Structures are given as C-alpha cells and as structure tokens.
Amino acid sequence: MKGKAWSGRFSKPTDKLVEQFTESISFDHRLIEEDILGSIAHARMLGKCGIIAQAEADAIVDGLESILQDVRSGKVELDPSAEDVHMNVERLLFEKIGETAGKLHTARSRNDQICLDIRLFLKHNLDTIINSLSNIQGVILDKAAEHAESIMPGFTHLQHAQPITLGHHLMAWFWMLERDKARLSDCARRVNVCPLGSGALAGTTLPIDREFVAKELGFESISENSIDAVSDRDFLSEFAAGSAILMTHLSRFAEEIIIWATQEFGFIELDDSVATGSSIMPQKKNPDVAELIRGKCARVIANTVNLLTVQKGLPLAYNRDLQEDKEPLFDTVDTVLGALEVFALMLARCTFNVERMREAAAEGFATATDLAEHLVRQGVPFRKAHEQVGKLIAWCIENGKSLTELTLDEIRRFAPNATEDVMKEITLESSVARRSSYGGTSPTEVRRQIEKARQILAGFTR
C-alpha cells in the first residue's frame, strides 16, 4: 500500500506539519493488539458471508496472526506517516500478503474500527481494575478481622466524636470500594457492545454478519444504531467518572493514612519498603505513596472533565475531535491500575498502634453520648439529657477531670436521674460493645460485616 488510504480524491500531498498535528500513532499504538484481533474477526466474517473469497479471508487471517506474533515479540516498527494504528496494521499486512490485504477494509470504516478497538481495550482493563479492587478489599478484610476489637476514636470534623473499633472503621472503606466495583461492573455491561458493522455512520449495503463478529470477540450484544455507535463516547465518560469516584475514595483513605502516620497521631506505622526518606533530614519517613495516590486522583478527575468537554459540542456523527478520547482513557487506566496495586501493597504491610489508638479514644469525653443515652433510658427527654451532659462536660473541663474519673454523686449534680449502672456504661469497652445496632461498631457487628463481605468476595466473578 502506497500513500494515504484516502489519497485518491486529493491532488496535493499532505503538508508535513499537518501530518504531525493529526497523527495519532504516537498514542493509539497501544491499541494494536485490539485492532489486529478485531480485524481477524472481521476477515473471518467476510469469508463466511462470501463477501470475499474464503482463500482470501484465510490469507488475511494468517497474515494478521503473524503480525500479532511479531507485535508480541517486539519485532514491529510502526510508521508515523501512516497516521494511526489502523493504517499501520494494514500497511504491515500489505507487506506480509500483498494486494489481498486491500480487501480487509471491506464493509467497515475507521470510525467503527476505532470504536471497536477502544471497547475491546476497556473490556479487558475493566476486568483487571475490578479484580484489583477485590484484592484491596481482601487486604481490608484481613486487617479488619485482626482489629475487630481494637478501640480507636471515631471522628467528625476531625474532632474526637465517639469510640469505635478499628475494624469498623476499615470496613467503611470496604463498602465504599464495593460500590466502586459495582459501578464499574455496571459500566462494563455498556462497554460490552460491538459497534463493528456500523461503517462510517450508515451501515453497509454488503451482507455482513454482525452477530458473528460480536461472538468471535466476546461481546454480549451489537449496537442498535450505526450513528450512535460511531459518534458517542459516553461509555468512556462513564468509566472515567466511575474511576474518578474510585480514586476519590482511595485519596480519602490515603489522607487518613498520611494523618495517622504523623507523630501527633501515631496510629499507623508504614513499612520501610513502602515509604521514602528525605535527602537532607535523616530522621524522616515520608508517606509518599499515599501522597501520590492523593495527587493522582486529580488526574483522573481531570480526565473525566476532558472526555466530557471533548464531546459537549459535537454534532452527529463522527468528528475528528474524538481522536482526543484516547489519551485520557489510557491515562485513567494506567493511573487507576497503578494506584490500586501500590495501595494494596502499602496497606498490607502497615501496622497499627492499637495502644496509642485506645489512649487517644480515652481523650476528649468520647463517651458523652453514652451518658446521654443512659439518661434517655431513665425517661429523660434526649434534648434535656443532652443539655445536662453538656453542662457536666463543661464542669469537667474547668476542673480537669475525665468522665471515668467522676463519682456518681458528681454526675448526679448535673444529671439527677443517673443510676449506678452509668459508671459501667461510660467505659470505652462498654460504649463500643453496646453499639450493636445493625451496621454498628460493636465487635459482634464488625464480625458480621466481615463474614458478609467475605461471602460477597467469594461469590464475585467477572
């Protein structure tokens, strides 16, 4: 094949500056395996339907399979002047089998071809991402089971709120990631649609078999409308948005690790293998992995905006603007997969300072709500109980006392309905153990969550 695939209508060669500006092979080369696999399925269909001779189809398939082997062994050099991955594959095929290669592009356009390539690429990588999510969830479950009874302070507004178990806190992240997995799994259903056969936008007059191609490539269905199939990238936007939510969850989790690793908190110790040091301060151990995950979240959010903005003003059907969809797609996939892999490693190797966590939970009147709820059980309206305990806390602050240091008489000065049982109910262990409402922080409930979560993971397949 010589010259451009579309050069017949043109009387002048493409200016070199235009070639440089419009080429996409510098990034869409990543789709070469998907492009070859799609072309193999297409060629088989052309032969099956009698659109080209079976011998020609066989020669094309043999040539493409040979090119695929060359790609996987690193023997292929791509030509930037061939514009994109599709034309590079076609050029390589011409070199392998000669003029018969010119029949491969029968009944298809680069418009439906690129849609096929990116759907195949995303199908594979969604499976990898979802499995990586499950891996992190498994690490969380192991840590949560280990610390189902480890007491720590729970926070609101980053202020001490109520005592909880570390296992309960970790399980909150499990369920967030479970929703991320569900979102991406749902997105995968909409990705799993074969667009090949849509042509440039109007289909083809040739007797193709779209269902055959879809089955060959493992798609669940074929697209219903040829214009829609080649012109929309909502499935990429959906993937990017789901990834942005996932990365936001990882970023928040990473932020907690960063805070907990400070000397001021001292809740967590990062393993030396997943931390870095300072070039000038010998004593430093920096949570760079967590910080980079937090920072890379911004890339994925930006990629979501990028993809939406590219599409927002496009008339139907295909426009060259859509060439700009691939770099944010590739960057999102790379960033998410990298973050998931290193986050799992960092979390698996960390250790929690449960003594320091319990010590912190004892500070700041964390069982004040337990005292208020004790009064409610004695018939005191909650608002009244809240006021009485608030005044008691203010008195404790003025007199340098904690709740557990008070006598029953001191409590009754502000909360006359308190009974002798109150002294047992405002301990950390009692506070945590008695919060056994469904989804609560008691060790019993945490273990129930963990068991249910393990069943979910065991039953999950992609």
Q: To 10 degrees, what angle do helices 166-191 and 234-260 make?
A: 170
Query: What is the spatial distance between Cα 260 and Cα 141, in angstroms, rounded to a whole number?
Result: 19
Give dist(CA 36, CA 133) in Å, integer: 29
**Are 329 and 126 within 8 A, CB to CB?**
no
* Active-site choice (157, 273, 279, 437): 157
CA dist 50 → 154, 188, 301 (Å): 69, 33, 47
Q: What DSSP element (H or E) covers 155?
A: strand 151-156
Check if 124 is active-site: no
> Would you state the structure tokens that stand for residue 355, as one six-digit string?
């003594």
C-alpha 65/C-alpha 215 separation (Å) is 19
Continuous H helices in 218-363: 226-231, 234-260, 288-311, 326-349, 354-361
Q: How many CA atoms lie within 13 A of 348 on its CB side?
A: 12
Alpha-carbon distances, residue 187 vs 13, 17, 127, 184, 238 (angstroms): 43, 39, 11, 5, 7
Selecting among 7, 26, 221, 278, the annotated active-site residue is 278
Residue keyed to tokens 């060629």:
43
Between the CA of residue 268 and those of 141, 162, 349, what are the distances in Å? 17, 20, 11
- Annotated active-site residue 29? The verdict is no
Secondary-structure breakdown of the chain: helix, strand, coil percentages, each rounded to the nearest 5: 65, 5, 30
Residue 285 in tokens: 């151990």
Helices vs strands, H then E, count in the chain = 19, 6
Q: Which region holds residue 402: left if phi is over 0, alpha if psi is between -120 and 50, else beta?
A: beta
Residue pair 111/201 in contact (Cβ under 8 Å)? The answer is yes
Catalytic residues: 157, 278
